[in-house]
């Protein structure tokens, strides 16, 4: 069944929903493609996608050919690279001469700050230091060889760098037991026991990868007991999500409730991990009535779920339920990652339609403009999106391992190869952590929704280009009048902070921007007492002139500690005087408590 046929099966009410992100339309004089023939093409591409991990071979070849052809007609660049190769070779020769004669010679090449493959002291001994320096010299040359050239598409240059980095990471001497001094040293100490036990771990991992069997949570990290343990009740459920209302911990609360909208690419309990680093528990303890959306883990029969379904049957349905439970009060809405992007879309639509139920809007590591969306853009072009669509067309969703591979490949040297060396050669098991257990508890992405997201936001950047329609009419972020609190993290490779900062460029409302230390998840889960944390915070008043990210960074002094207390103060400033806590659910209105938190959807495999 092709996509058009699937769409025809939607009800008349469904068809009235906006075509938020239409795909490319064929030319008027183009001959129609027979569904049978198109299905054959898509099935072939889907089979190829399974073999390539979802990477389009055409996109790979296009980047290589674009780079090679531009390099071939650039004799100046060729000369520059020849000179750099000669210089690197001379540096290596000088270093090798000094190293073999026991002279003190500074290493000419250094790993990047995030590269921890060569930290063991034995890498400074001959001959391991020579192998390390040879690898780093090669890495240096290729880095400069794949720099952008006049006429070369920047995306192709970036893709070339990425692909070369993947190949070099695979061939790093740290990955081979006969070249890695740490592996040799450990093997000598244990008599090879580390290799035998590592082989057993490798076999177990291979079986788990092939079967996709779910691993139970390790002792001390069970959902509902150790993680996602903040007390509450599910007060609403539909086919898309469960709504959790958390039990108050204070005698009085701020009247306006808080709604968390997590991304459906993750389980919600990243915001309710262990007791000490649960953002939910922190806000409840500060006197807020907190609600949480817990998304379902979609299966093949939910392939036609759309972005509009997530907006209407998700966020709007949650707002309606909260309005019933806490009548007469506005709602603080907080969206994380993709949930934040959808929340921004929802808020702009509500503003356009004069729906004033939002007291404030918080966007955590969430992008509204995708022109600078970091290395994830390397995976997005027409060929690549079509390739992923065909893979999802066959199975109904984007599966968990397919997404995990994409994110891991961005930091392959650490997330793939260093981890593999530790597990299979050094017999160092992964020590369980709450965020690590959550990270392994991934979800699927419905085919239609993910296609709309990739095309409309990543590929075409429609939201900030004024071309994103909801219910047949274009929305504008500038319509949002509710105050905004936007958080970005310094080391985020999924939502780079300068990309998140662009929310300030496309809105006019009161906006507080926070830049905090950490990555996409670690920077958000930055509880009070977390060691070595800092953040920057500054406010832009309504009508103030736009300030770019670099001037903002220069003017915003760092503050030690967690940004959570400042956020709680900001929410309190947008709230009324404290009152008695509301009751759990609204049984008289058809919203009785259904079960205890964390509910049932969070356990779906």
Q: What is the mean pLDDT of the chain?
A: 88
DSSP for 156-176? HHHHHHHHHHHHHHHH-GGGS
What pLDDT, on a 0 to 100 scale, did the predictor assign at position 573?
Answer: 97
> What is the rounded radius of gyration, in angstroms, for the C-alpha atoms of the chain?
26
Q: Which of 21-30, 135-144, 418-427 has the lowest mean pLDDT?
A: 21-30
Q: Which of 365-369, 387-391, 436-440 has the lowest mean pLDDT?
A: 387-391
Q: Which pairing describes strands 484-489 and 358-364: parallel, antiparallel, or unpaired?
A: parallel
Tell me the per-residue pLDDT of 171-219, one tens digit each, with 9 for 90 and over: 999 999 999 999 999 999 999 999 999 999 989 888 877 776 777 778 8
Pick the CATH number of 232-370+478-603 from 3.40.47.10, 3.40.50.1820, 3.10.20.600, 2.40.50.180: 3.40.50.1820
pLDDT for residue 392 is more than 70: yes
Mean pLDDT of 220-225: 92
Token pair for residue 240?
Answer: 């898309």
What pLDDT, on a 0 to 100 scale, did the predictor assign at position 102?
Answer: 67
Identify the helix (H) or strand (E) that includes residue 398.
strand 397-398
CA atoms of 65 and 425, how far apart (whole Å): 38
Sheet of 559-560, strands arranged across: 559-560, 534-540, 511-516, 484-489, 358-364, 331-336, 258-261, 290-295, 241-246, 232-237, 595-596
Q: Looking at the annotation, which residues are catalytic?
A: 337
Out of 48-57, 152-161, 515-524, give the one with best mean pLDDT: 515-524
Tell me the per-residue pLDDT of 288-346, one tens digit each, with 9 for 90 and over: 999 999 999 999 899 899 999 999 999 999 999 999 999 999 999 999 999 999 999 99
- The residue extents of the domains of the chain are 60-179, 232-370+478-603
């Amino acid at each position: 069944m092709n996509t058009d046929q699937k769409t025809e099966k939607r009800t008349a009410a469904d068809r009235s929903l906006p075509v938020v992100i239409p795909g490319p339309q064929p030319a008027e004089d183009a001959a129609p493609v027979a569904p049978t023939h198109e299905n054959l093409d898509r099935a072939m591409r889907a089979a190829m996608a399974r073999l390539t991990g979802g990477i389009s071979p055409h996109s790979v070849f296009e980047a290589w050919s674009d780079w090679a052809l531009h390099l071939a007609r650039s004799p100046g660049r060729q000369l520059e690279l020849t000179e750099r190769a000669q210089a690197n070779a001379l540096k290596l020769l000088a270093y090798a001469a000094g190293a073999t004669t026991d002279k003190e010679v500074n290493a000419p090449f250094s790993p990047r700050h995030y590269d921890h493959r060569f930290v063991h002291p034995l890498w400074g001994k001959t001959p391991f230091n020579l192998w390390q320096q040879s690898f780093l010299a090669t890495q240096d040359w290729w880095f400069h060889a794949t720099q952008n050239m006049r006429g070369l598409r920047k995306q192709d240059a970036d893709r070339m760098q990425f692909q070369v980095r993947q190949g070099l990471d695979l061939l790093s001497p740290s990955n081979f037991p006969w070249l890695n001094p740490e592996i040799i040293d450990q093997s000598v100490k244990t008599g090879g026991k580390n290799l035998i036990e590592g082989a057993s771990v490798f076999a177990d991992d291979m079986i788990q990868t092939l079967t996709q069997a779910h691993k139970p949570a390790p002792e001390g990290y069970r959902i509902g007991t150790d993680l996602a343990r903040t007390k509450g009740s599910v007060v609403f459920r539909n086919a898309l999500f469960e709504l959790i209302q958390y039990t108050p911990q204070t005698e009085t609360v701020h009247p306006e409730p808080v709604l968390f909208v997590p991304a459906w690419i993750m389980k919600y309990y990243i915001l309710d991990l262990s007791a000490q680093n649960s953002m939910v528990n922190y806000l409840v303890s500060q006197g807020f009535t907190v609600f949480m959306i817990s998304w379902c883990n979609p299966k093949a029969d939910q392939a036609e779920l759309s972005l509009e379904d997530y907006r209407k049957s998700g966020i709007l349905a949650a707002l309606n339920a909260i309005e019933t439970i806490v009548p007469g009060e506005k709602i603080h809405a907080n969206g994380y990652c993709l949930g934040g992007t959808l929340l921004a879309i929802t808020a702009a639509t509500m503003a356009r339609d004069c729906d004033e139920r939002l007291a404030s809007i918080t966007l955590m590591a969430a992008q509204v403009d995708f022109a600078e969306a970091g290395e994830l853009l390397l995976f997005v072009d027409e060929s690549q999106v079509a390739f992923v669509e065909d893979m999802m067309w066959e199975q109904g969703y984007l599966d968990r391992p397919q997404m995990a591979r994409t994110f891991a490949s961005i930091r392959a040297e650490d997330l793939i190869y260093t981890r593999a060396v530790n597990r299979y050669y050094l017999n160092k098991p992964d020590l369980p952590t709450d965020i690590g257990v959550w990270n392994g508890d991934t979800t699927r992405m419905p085919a239609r929704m993910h296609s709309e997201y990739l095309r409309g936001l990543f590929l075409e950047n429609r939201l900030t280009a004024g071309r994103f329609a909801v219910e047949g009419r274009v929305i504008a972020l500038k319509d949002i009048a509710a105050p905004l609190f936007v958080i970005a993290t310094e080391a985020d490779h999924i939502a780079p902070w300068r990309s998140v900062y662009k929310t300030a460029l496309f809105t006019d409302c009161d906006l507080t921007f926070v830049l905090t230390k950490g990555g996409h998840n670690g920077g958000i889960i930055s509880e009070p007492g977390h060691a070595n944390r800092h953040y920057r915070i500054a406010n832009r008043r309504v009508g103030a002139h736009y300030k770019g990210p670099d001037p903002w960074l220069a003017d915003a002094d760092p503050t030690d500690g967690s940004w959570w207390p400042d956020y709680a103060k900001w929410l309190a400033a947008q709230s009324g005087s404290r009152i008695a806590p509301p009751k759990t659910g609204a049984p008289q209105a058809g919203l009785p408590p259904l079960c205890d938190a964390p509910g049932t959807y969070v356990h779906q495999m």
